[in-house]
Amino acid sequence: MRKLLIIILLVLGCATFCPCPTQALVFSAPPPKFAYTDSSGKKQSVQVVDKYYPKKITEPCAKMDANIDPKLRRAATIAQERAHAHSLAKCWRFIKEALVAAGVVKSRPQTTLAKQAGQELVSNYGFKKLPVSDPYQAPVGSVLVYDAKRAAGHVEIRTEDGFVSDFRSKTPSRRPLLGVFAKN
């Protein structure tokens, strides 16, 4: 009994003179604030952001344009369903098949190089070049044609959440954009 009393007094004494380190974690400093004066002369403050989203956020959502042929949106969906995870170097072939399957064009385009797609779509199939220079601003279903110096180029269709050709991508091609084409 005496040993138990000594142990209890020892534990209580240690607890009094040696507080738990977890108690130090209970109190935390208020979040840091940035103070500034706005244009009207009033003092303002905002919380400093100390956490961020580690991945680059691109513009995933495309706009729907009511003037664009709804068959082009269907072609984008067909191309997305048939696309692979990685490129097969057959972008223009996949886009041609999607355009024919959706009924956008009556016959399969004949050009072999992807960078010639825009010219053929305009001259033979009633497409128009849109005044868009940023691929992210292209409406859903529009066909984007890219140039390449000593290569075939690249063609892709804008989808609601990215771009698709023979593969799916959240970002557009890095090649120089020749034009954005659509049909009314």
Under the banding of pLDDT at 50, 70 and 90, the label for residue 52 is low
Checking 31-36 for CB contacts under 8 A at 24+ apart, the result is: none
The domain that contains 85 carries what CATH number? 3.90.1720.10
* Distance of alpha carbon 172 from alpha carbon 97, whole angstroms: 20
96-130 pLDDT, tens per residue? 999 999 999 999 999 999 999 999 999 999 999 99
- Note the pLDDT of residue 101: 94
More confident call, 56 vs 114: 114
Q: Report the pLDDT averaged over residues 58-74.
A: 77
DSSP state of 116: G
pLDDT of residue 30: 74
Average pLDDT over residues 52-73: 71
Q: What is the three-class DSSP state of 73?
A: helix
Asked if the structure places residue 30 within a domain, the reply is no
The mean pLDDT of the chain is: 85
Rounded to the nearest 5°, which phi and psi values hold at 15?
-65, -35
Say if 142 falls within a structural domain: yes
Question: Which residues constitute the domain of residue 107?
Answer: 70-182
Give the number of domains in the chain.
1
Is 43 part of any domain? no
C-beta separation of 170 from 60 below 8 A: yes
| Integer CA distances (angstroms), 61 to 22, 34, 58, 140, in order | 46, 32, 9, 9
Asked if the structure places residue 1 within a domain, the reply is no
pLDDT confidence of residue 128: 94
**What's the rounded Cα separation, in Å, for the pair 153 and 176?**
9
User: Is the predicted pLDDT of residue 58 greater than 90, yes or no?
Assistant: no
The pLDDT of residue 64: 74
**Tell me, what's the pLDDT at 155?**
96
Mean pLDDT (whole number) for 64-75: 85
Give 7-37 pLDDT, tens digit per residue: 877 776 666 666 555 555 556 677 788 888 9
pLDDT at 26: 56
Is residue 90 a part of any domain in this protein?
yes
Residue 179 predicted with pLDDT over 90: yes
For the entire predicted model, the pTM comes to 0.66
